[in-house]
Amino acid sequence: MSCNIPWAQGFRKLNLLRLSIALVSSLLLGTNTLIAFRGTGIHPSHLAFEESDILKRQGHSNHTSNAIKLPPYTPQESFGACALVLNQNHRITEWIAYHYFALPMRTLIIAYDPKSTQRATQLLHRWRTVMDIVEWEEDDYLPANWSEGIARQKFWAKPVESVIYENRQIYFMQQCTLAMAAKNVSRVIHHDVDEYLRIQTKVVRGFDTTRPGHITAFLNQKNISDVVPGWSHNASCWVFHRHLFTPMREDSSTERQSIHKAIDFPWLRPVHLDTLRYRYRNARIQQTGKGILQLNHIPSTILFRRVNFFDKWLKVHNPLGRSLCQGPWPSSPLILNHYTGSYEAYLYAAQWDPRFQDRAEWERRTAAGKGVPRLEDGITNWVAAFVAWLSEPVARMLLSDAGWRDEWNLRQDA
């Protein structure tokens, strides 16, 4: 039945006008957002991940009874991590679990080297209710044909594949850092997935490393300079030494029994976790360290006024250079455990990574840092604390398929 009442027709026209205005406004807002982020190279999907998003995801989960607990820091108060990987699925589960617990890591951007035959999507899925995870292919952060100029040059001191890899790493670090800044993340790490940031309890004595988010709790203290002379709470960047943990000296049978008693879970074999399997480090520290960026304290001229995409303003081992990065310190409050893993795992990586070659190169790497290997097991308490915090069923689900299996056929994807 049609309505011929004049005021009703006017009301209907007014509603149509309001709807048209709302649609136009929405389109303009969306266009402006796209333009704004296209100018900085950040896709709108990389914006801040709020706590409300997490609660919505958990609310729609089919496993609410086993929901992963949130650490006591929001995504913006927590760490973000940028990881460029090449067939490292066997490392990713343990690496994420540890850093979610210890940092905590609440934002992860993971990029795949173009030679990768694996994707970590299925491994990452279990974390998406509590962590903002973005997966990038090369064309998500690099322009087309970016490496052609490098390949044309003939006078590199190393294989051109290694030069391309190193440039890709720098450009990924830079674009990932800008994406983290758009998400308002406080601190960012660019460590590889065989490196674990931890508090060095021999320097920071008595600090409780069994609490979730204990590294953020430590860094938020105002009195660290009392322990570490020259430490600035507001530094743009801190750099820390790395200790190399190798299989050249493994635990005796008695020591292995001690570890198994401490990690008394029938579903978990300590030999499958690098942080439990390798407890001896080389005597000397590695000469090159890795850093933490504090995005809120980096000058805006560095982060947001980039004109040339190929301008290199970050470095792998001293991200912002000596003028803005503090450390490393002789007695460092934080340290990185760097795990080479077994020779079988090395051979697996050597199929694609030009930096890895043969057994002689593996032995050269594992022998770096002369002297008698030293026991350093300050990180090993994290597993029991992780299980106690989350519950055994949840921890078992999160740590399933963690680690390398020496019996795997090297021709098969891990």
Q: What is the mean pLDDT of residues 303-313?
A: 79
Is the predicted pLDDT of residue 183 greater than 80, yes or no?
Answer: yes
Give 65-119 pLDDT, tens digit per residue: 358 999 999 999 999 999 999 999 999 999 999 999 999 999 999 999 999 999 9
Q: What is the mean pLDDT of residues 117-140?
A: 96
Give 243-278 pLDDT, tens digit per residue: 999 886 665 665 555 565 667 788 888 888 999 999
**Does any domain span residue 45?**
no
Answer whether 291's CB lies under 8 Å from 325's CB: yes
Is the predicted pLDDT of residue 224 greater than 70, yes or no?
Answer: yes
pLDDT at 162: 85
DSSP state of 186: S
Is the predicted pLDDT of residue 62 greater than 80, yes or no?
Answer: no
DSSP state of 210: T
Confidence grade of residue 372 (pLDDT, cut at 50, 70, 90):
confident
**Distances, alpha carbon 22 to alpha carbons 1, 25, 112, in Å:** 29, 5, 40
105 phi, psi to nearest 5 deg: -95, 120
Range of the domain at 170: 69-220+233-399
Q: How many structural domains does the chain have?
A: 1
* Other beta carbons less than 10 A from residue 217's beta carbon: 17
**Does any domain span residue 35?**
no
* Other beta carbons less than 10 A from residue 150's beta carbon: 15
What's the mean pLDDT when you consider all of the chain?
81
Predicted model pTM: 0.82
pLDDT at 68: 96
For 275, the 3-state DSSP assignment is helix
**Does any domain span residue 44?**
no
Residue bearing tokens 């105002």? 222
Is the predicted pLDDT of residue 10 greater than 50, yes or no?
Answer: no
**Does any domain span residue 33?**
no
Q: What is the mean pLDDT of residues 385-399?
A: 96
Is the predicted pLDDT of residue 237 greater than 60, yes or no?
Answer: yes
Distance CA 124, CA 137 (A): 15
**Does any domain span residue 50?**
no
pLDDT at 72: 96
Round the CA-based radius of gyration of the chain to a whole number and report it: 24
Confidence grade of residue 343 (pLDDT, cut at 50, 70, 90):
confident
**Does any domain span residue 242?**
yes
pLDDT at 262: 67
Confidence grade of residue 167 (pLDDT, cut at 50, 70, 90):
very high
Q: Token digits for 9?
A: 């027709």
Is the predicted pLDDT of residue 212 greater than 80, yes or no?
Answer: yes
Confidence grade of residue 379 (pLDDT, cut at 50, 70, 90):
very high
Is the predicted pLDDT of residue 412 greater than 80, yes or no?
Answer: no
**Does any domain span residue 124?**
yes
